[in-house]
Amino acid sequence: MSARDEILNKLRSRSRQPDTHPPAWRSRRHFDDLAERFAESLGKSKGEVIRAGSLDEAFEQLDQTLLALGARCVVANDEPPLSQIDLAARWPGMQWHIVGRTPGDLRGFCATADAGVSSVVAALAETGSVVVTSGPGKSRLATLLPPVHIALVPESCLTADLYTFTAARQGPPPAMQTLISGPSKTADIEQTMAVGVHGPKRFIVILYRD
């Protein structure tokens, strides 16, 4: 008998009377101001939040952030709102790799880029997390290899918590979905916090009203 059948048969022959599965847990969280809670929670885990009143203002904040970083090579996922503007024309002094559009070695570019810019599919207020996924134009490495990850987050994609996010799921999930709740960190040496061990050292969210 195959290992599969052996294991399944054994489980079936040994199982007790099945319990009824409990009904789904629904969120009991309520936040008066989702954006405020999001910013507060993300701040606690060393993430940085910049608030903007509009999309235009968000792009201005992005200008300033990239300038302050002294960024010269930037990789960007090809997704709205980033795909709505001509990034290379806006920042002519910088070298841009737009995922799926710029030809050449994406992986090599990500490994040496100064920053990665992306959008998100959702943001959780309770835990200060954003959700990024894989897909056409959306690189996993772009938000992971560069030392800084900048995420553009419209307030309309805020939801209360993991439960409300999960309850709203539709269809099959993408191949990769990650909840990001701060910069990469470790406490493995004498319980001392150090940031940027494998992933980005800085995680900057530009949260804008839309």
Partner 1 sequence: MTEVTFKQFRSAAAGAIADPRLQSAIDGATLKFRTERHHALTELPDVDAMRDQLKAIRAATLSRLADHLETFERQATATGAKVHWARDAAEANQIAIDIARQHGVELIVKTKSMATEETHLNHALIDAGITPVETDLGEWIIQLAGEPPSHIVGPALHKTRQQVAELFSKEVGRELDPDDIPGLTAEARRLLREKFLAAGLGITGANLAVAETGSIVLVTNEGNGRLVTSAPPVQIALVGIEKIAPTWDDAAVWLQLLARSSTGQPLSIYTTAITGPAKADDPDGPREVHIILMDNGRSNQIGTGYEEVLECIRCGACLNACPVYQEVGGHSYGNPYSGPIGAVLVPLLFGLKEYEALPHASSLCTACLDACPVRINLPRMLLDLRRDEVQGRMLSPVERFIEQAAAYVLGHYRLYRLLTGTARIFQRPLVRGRFLRVPRRVNPAGERDLPSLAKRSFHDLWDEIR
Binding marks (x or -) toward partner 1, 73..92, rule CB under 8 A? Answer: --------------------
In terms of C-beta distances under 8 Å and separation of at least 24 residues, what long-range contacts does 106-109 make, across chains too? 106/75, 106/139, 106/141, 106/142, 107/141, 107/145, 109/73, 109/75
What is the phi/psi pair of residue 65, to 5°? -65, -45
The stretch among 56-64, 66-74, 80-88, 131-139 that binds partner 1 (CB under 8 A) is: 131-139
Q: Cα–Cα distance between 105 and 34 in angstroms, integer?
A: 39
- The residue (of 138 and 153) whose beta carbon lies closer to partner 1 is 138
Which runs of consecutive H residues, i.e. helices, occur in 15-92? Answer: 34-44, 55-69, 87-90
**Closest separation between CB of residue 173 and partner 1, Å?**
5
Q: Cα–Cα distance between 54 and 57 in angstroms, integer?
A: 5
- The residue (of 65 and 77) whose beta carbon lies closer to partner 1 is 77
**Closest separation between CB of residue 157 and partner 1, Å?**
17
3-state secondary structure of 60: helix
**Closest separation between CB of residue 130 and partner 1, Å?**
11
Consecutive H or E run containing 164: helix 162-167
Residue 106 interacts with partner 1 (CB under 8 A)?
yes
Q: Cα–Cα distance between 95 and 183 in angstroms, integer?
A: 24
**Closest separation between CB of residue 65 and partner 1, Å?**
20
Pick from 4, 53, 68, 92: which binds partner 1 (CB under 8 A)? 4
3-state secondary structure of 175: coil
The stretch among 31-39, 50-58, 82-90, 160-168 that binds partner 1 (CB under 8 A) is: 160-168
Pick from 7, 54, 86, 112: which binds partner 1 (CB under 8 A)? 7
Residue 138 interacts with partner 1 (CB under 8 A)?
yes
Residue 187 interacts with partner 1 (CB under 8 A)?
yes
